[in-house]
A and B are shown apart, each in its own frame.
Chain A
Amino acid sequence: MSGSERTRAALLGCVLAAAANAAVAPQAPQAPAAAATPAPATQLERTIALRQPSVVKVFGASGLQTIRPYCAGVVVSAQGHILTLDQILLQPERTRVVLHDGSVHQATLLPPEPQLGVRLLQIDAAKVEGGLQPLWPERERFDRTGQFVVALGNCFRLAEFEEANSATFGVVVGRANTALRHRLADVAYDGDLILTDAAINPGQEGGGLFSLDGRWLGLNMKSLAAKETNTLLSAAIPVADLLPYLERVVRGQQAPEPVAVAKEPAWLGVVLFDKAGRQSPPAYVERVVAGSPAAALGLRADDLIVRLDDFSIRTCREYRDVLARFAAGAKVQLVWKRGQQVQQAQVTLGKEPAK
Chain B
Amino acid sequence: MSARRHAAAVARAALAVAAAAVVAAPVVRAQDPLAAVRADEARRVALVARCAPAVCAVMAMDEPGGGSGVVFDARGYVLTNYHVVGEPDPKWQPPQPPALPDTDLQAFRAQHPAADDAAVAAFTARWQDEWRREHAPRGRRHYRNKKVGLPDGELYEAVVLGIDPGSDLAVLRLLPKHAGQTWPHRPLGDSDAVRAGQPALAMGNPFVLATDFAPTVTFGVVSGVHRYQEGQGNRMLVYPDCIQVDAPVNPGNSGGPLFDERGDVIGINGRIAVGDRGRVNVGVGFAIASNQIRNFLGDLMAGRHAEHGTLDLSAWRAGQDRQQADPTLRGVYVQQIFKDAVAAAAGIGLGDELVRCDGLALRSPNELARQIGVLPAGAWVELAWRPRASEGFGALREAAVRLAALDTGSSRDGGGDDARLASADERRRARDAWLAQWPARDEPADAMVTWRVVAPEGFVVRALRHGERLRRDRGGFDWTDLGDARVDNGDGSDGSGFASDGNSPTMRDLTADERESLRRERACNPLLWPSTTVRARLAEALLLGGVHVLGAPALRFALPGDGGCEAWFFLDGTPAGCAFRDPVRKARVEWHVRGSAVRVVFDGKAQAGWRDSQRDVTAAEPALFGRPQ
Q: How far apart are the CA atoms of A46 and B363 in the complex, in Å?
A: 24
Residue of B nearest to A44 (CB): B197
Shortest CB-to-CB span from B599 to chain A, Å, is 21
How many Å lie between the Cα of A202 and that of B277 in the bound state? 12
B10 proximity list for chain A (CB < 8 A): 10-11, 146
**Quick one: which of A36, A103, A167 contacts B197, CB cutoff 8 A?**
A167
From B36-44, B124-132, B603-611, the one touching the partner chain is B36-44
Contact B284 A166 (CB under 8 A): yes
**Known contacts A12-B40, A40-B195: A104-B327 contact under CB 8 Å:** yes
A171 to B2, CA, bound (A): 11
Name which residue of chain A comes closest to B364, CB basis: A161
Judged by a CB distance under 8 angstroms, whether B592 is at the interface is no
Interface residues on A, range: 35 or more
List A110-167 residues whose CB lies under 8 Å from chain B: 127, 145-146, 150, 155-156, 158-167
Q: How far is the CB of A135 from chain B (nearest CB, A)?
A: 18
A345 contacts the other chain (CB 8 A): no
Chain A residues closer than 8 Å to B39, beta-carbon distance:
13, 17
> Is residue B226 contacting chain A, with contact meaning CB distance below 8 A?
yes
Interface residues of B in 153-211 (CB under 8 A from A): 192-199
- Asked whether A38 is an interface residue with its Cβ less than 8 Å from the other chain, the reply is yes
What is the minimal beta-carbon distance from B583 to any residue of chain A, in angstroms? Answer: 42
Please determine whether A104 and B227 come into contact, CB atoms closer than 8 angstroms. Answer: no
Nearest-neighbor residue (CB-CB) of A52 within chain B: B196
A36 to B361, CA, bound (A): 12
Interface flags for A1-35 (1: CB within 8 Å of B; 0: not) read 00111111111111011100000000000000111
Contacts of A127 on B, CB cut-off 8 Å?
Answer: 327
Q: Is B17 an interface residue (CB 8 A)?
A: no
Segment 305-356 of B: residues with Cβ below 8 Å from A = 317-320, 322, 324-325, 327, 330
Residue A201 CB within 8 A of the other chain = yes
Query: In the complex, what distance in Å separates the CA atom of A299 from the CA atom of B135?
Result: 92
Q: A45-B197, A174-B3 are in contact. Are A199 and B283 (CB under 8 A)?
A: yes
Q: Is B322 within 8 A of A94, CB to CB?
A: yes
Is A244 among interface residues, defined by CB-CB distance under 8 A?
no
Question: Within 8 Å of chain A (Cβ to Cβ): is B219?
Answer: yes
Does A4 contact B3, Cβ atoms closer than 8 Å? Answer: yes
A230 within 8 A of B: yes
**In the assembled complex, A105 has its CB within 8 A of some CB on chain B:** yes
Let me know if A282 is at the binding interface, CB within 8 A. no
Contact between B41 and A199 (Cβ–Cβ < 8 Å)? no
Shortest CB-to-CB span from B273 to chain A, Å, is 5
Across the interface, do B325 and A106 meet the contact criterion of CB distance under 8 Å?
yes
A35 to B318 alpha-carbon distance, docked (Å) = 23
Please indicate which of the listed interface residues A39, A46, A104, A197 has the most CB atoms of chain B within 10 Å of its own CB. Answer: A104
- Rounded to whole angstroms, the CA-CA distance of A199 and B273 in the bound complex is 12
In the complex, A127→B329 CA distance in Å? Answer: 13
Q: Are A9 and B219 in contact (CB under 8 A)?
A: yes
Residues of chain A with a CB closer than 8 A to B80's CB: none
Please tell me if A87 contacts chain B, counting CB pairs below 8 Å. no
B271 to chain A, nearest CB (A): 12
Contact of A11 among B37, B199, B275, B320 (CB under 8 A): B37
Contacts of A267 in B (CB 8 A): none
Inter-subunit contact A96/B319 (CB<8 Å): yes
Smallest CB gap from B359: residue in A: A35
Contacting residue for B327 out of A8, A94, A103, CB 8 A: A103
Of chain A, the residue at the smallest CB distance from B190 is A38
With CB as the reference atom, state the residue of chain A lying closest to B370.
A163
Q: Are B261's CB and A16's CB within 8 A?
A: yes
Q: Is the CB of B319 within 8 A of A197?
A: no
Separation in Å of the A235 CB from the closest CB of chain B?
14
CB atoms of B196 and A45 under 8 A apart: yes
The 3 closest A-B CB pairs, nearest first, are A199-B283, A13-B40, A104-B319
A158-B224, A158-B273 given; 4 more Cβ-contact pairs under 8 Å: A12-B199, A14-B37, A33-B361, A42-B197
